[in-house]
Amino acid sequence: MEFSIKQGSPDTLKCGCVVAGVFANGKLSKAAQILDKAGNKAISALVKAGDITGKCASTLVMHKVPGIAAERILLVGLGDTKELNEKSSVEILRATFRALHATPAKDATLFITDEGAGKDTAWVLRQAVIAATEGAYRSDNMKSKPGTAATLKHVTFASLEKPAADLAHILKKAAATAHGMDLAKLLGNLPGNVCTPSYLAQQAVTLGKKHKAIKTTVLEEKDMQKLGMGSLLSVTRGSDEPAKLITMEYYGTDKKQKPIVLVGKGITFDTGGISLKPGAEMDEMKYDMCGAASVLGTMQAIADMALKLNVVGIVPTCENMPDGRATKPGDIVTSMSGQTIEILNTDAEGRLILCDALTYAAKFNPDTVIDIATLTGACIIALGHVASGLFSNDEALAQELLKAGTESHDRAWHMPLWDDYQSQLDSNFADMQNIGGRAAGSITAASFLARFTKDYRWAHLDIAGTAWKSGKDKGATGRPVPLLTQYLINRADKK
């Protein structure tokens, strides 16, 4: 999908559909007033008849209105200006694009108003781009007869006055973020028999070929053995699929500048291993690589933006399967850091691959390291499916990520990482055990990772509750690509 910005009057713009807002009690936005006047009060007549009341996120399509150049007018309810907030604004935009995608219109022009919304045009613009691409996304590519692709191909964001000069740059970055989300969703939704560690590695190689600024390297199991990654390799022992360690190095500025390293958990299917998961909903464990998918999506996005920043993406990827060679509860392994781990639960495997990848990350002399993982069910209990869990050993970094989450509407919540929780990981037989019991499960998982990140600024995003949806809307969400890209944009802007 393509996006553009222009100045114009809604009644004279030729397109498949022009979109204007109606506030509560039928009050027309400025664009709607112009359309109403040019269309011989056709909108006012519908308001008077009760066809459009301005109820938040309501929509009404008008066809071939005399005096209007566009083939259709889409009226969108904006609700009461006093009640407009982030949640309702996003709902309005999603409803707008649901209605647009339901029409045959190939192009649409939107007059976005922030009257009373409490958000600037740039914020609305970013959310509109994401809503547009989400509406066009299809997850049926593996069906024998996929559904019809979205008809809407081009969206113009129009203004009655000359748009601010920086909005074109914001639009470009928003589009890159949305397309990065699409890649993350595509990878996340693929089944485990297709999206294997080798497949992920190939996608990373393809990304490197597409973008000259990205250098992709794939390490094999023999390479990991030489590096002493006993923790990561313990997880893949029960699988016939070979593990991979993928690195994607993006250099958008002087290579002397320290990179920001993103580490994404890439368990392409998680049975739990010997500590086998219940059968119900186990199919959703194909989503256990959504951290890895978000790293690939983010790397694509920043390359499309040509962001002036150095970023390294690291993806440790393997399957967690049970067989005669699989790691058993009670086994002790040695991590790349030299620390030994007693594995009491083989289903707490994400931290076992991440800890070696986090140790490996130090070789890049990073400014900052952020890992992203569908790590704990406990995080879902704590935060539900609204916010990702955020843990950090650096308060300033945590605040930067929280700010980026708010700006992108891909929010996180700051969780504690106090040393008081470390004792739950004590082991009688090794340096640590890989679980800390039922209490504070997401915190003890982060505390485990913290033992491998003492030499640099680090944050951990637990996306178990936000990376995918269950039920009738089952599918990957593409989160936290918006949060990560906004954080990286903010960092680049500081340079």
pTM for the structure as a whole: 0.96
pLDDT of residue 113: 62
CA dist 389 → 257, 377, 393 (Å)? 29, 11, 14
Region 247-270 average pLDDT: 97
pLDDT of residue 119: 64
Catalytic residue, chosen from 72, 126, 286, 351, is 351
Q: pLDDT exceeding 90 applies to what percent of the chain?
A: 94
Beta strands 72-79 and 17-23 are parallel
Give the whole-angstrom CA distance, residue 151 versus residue 248.
34
pLDDT digits (tens, 9 = 90+) for 464-482: 999 999 999 999 999 999 9
CB atoms within 10 A of CB 137: 18
pLDDT digits (tens, 9 = 90+) for 237-253: 999 999 999 999 999 99
Which of 143-152, 355-364, 451-460 has the lowest average pLDDT?
A: 143-152
CA dist 239 → 167, 262, 267, 268 (Å)? 49, 26, 11, 11
Tell me: pLDDT of 298 over 70.
yes
Query: Under a CB-based contact definition with an 8 Å cutoff, are residues 79 and 55 in contact?
Result: yes
Region 91-105 average pLDDT: 96
Quote the tokens at residue 113: 């108003």
Beta strands 412-414 and 432-433 are unpaired
pLDDT of residue 237: 98
Q: Which amino acid, 45?
A: A
Secondary structure (3-state) at 284: helix
CB atoms within 10 A of CB 65: 20
Please report, to the nearest 10 degrees, the dihedral formed by the alpha carbons of residues 410, 414, 419, 424 taken in order.
-60
Tell me: pLDDT of 84 over 90.
no
pLDDT of residue 116: 44
Beta strands 468-469 and 475-476 are antiparallel
- Strand locations in 427-487, DSSP E? 432-433, 457-462, 468-469, 475-476
Region 45-61 average pLDDT: 96
Residue in this structure with the two tokens 């637990």, named with its chain if needed: 462
pLDDT digits (tens, 9 = 90+) for 416-467: 999 999 999 999 999 999 999 999 999 999 999 999 999 999 999 999 999 9
Question: In this structure, what DSSP letter does residue 78 have?
Answer: E
**CATH fold label, 2-161:** Leucine Aminopeptidase, subunit E; domain 1 (3.40.220)
Secondary structure (3-state) at 134: helix
Mean pLDDT for the chain overall: 96
Give the whole-angstrom CA distance, residue 8 versus residue 256.
46
pLDDT digits (tens, 9 = 90+) for 64-79: 999 999 999 999 999 9
pLDDT of residue 476: 98
Give the whole-angstrom CA distance, residue 119 versus residue 86.
8
Tell me: pLDDT of 114 over 90.
no
**CATH fold label, 174-494:** Aminopeptidase (3.40.630)
Query: Where do the domains of the chain lie?
Result: 2-161, 174-494
Tell me: pLDDT of 29 over 80.
yes
Active site residue 351: yes
The neighbouring-strand residues paired with 316 are 245
Q: Which distant-in-sequence residues (6+ apart) come within 8 Å of 400 by Cβ?
A: 487, 490, 491
Tell me: pLDDT of 332 over 70.
yes
370 or 82, which is more confident?
Answer: 370
Q: How confident is the model at residue 121 (pLDDT cuts 50, 70, 90)?
A: confident
Catalytic residue, chosen from 277, 308, 403, 474, is 277
Residue whose C-alpha is closest to residue 261's, from 282, 246, 241, 275: 246
Active site residue 411: no
Query: Under a CB-based contact definition with an 8 Å cutoff, are residues 316 and 354 in contact?
Result: yes
Region 379-395 average pLDDT: 98
pLDDT of residue 115: 54
Query: Under a CB-based contact definition with an 8 Å cutoff, are residues 389 and 415 in contact?
Result: yes
Tell me: pLDDT of 16 over 60.
yes
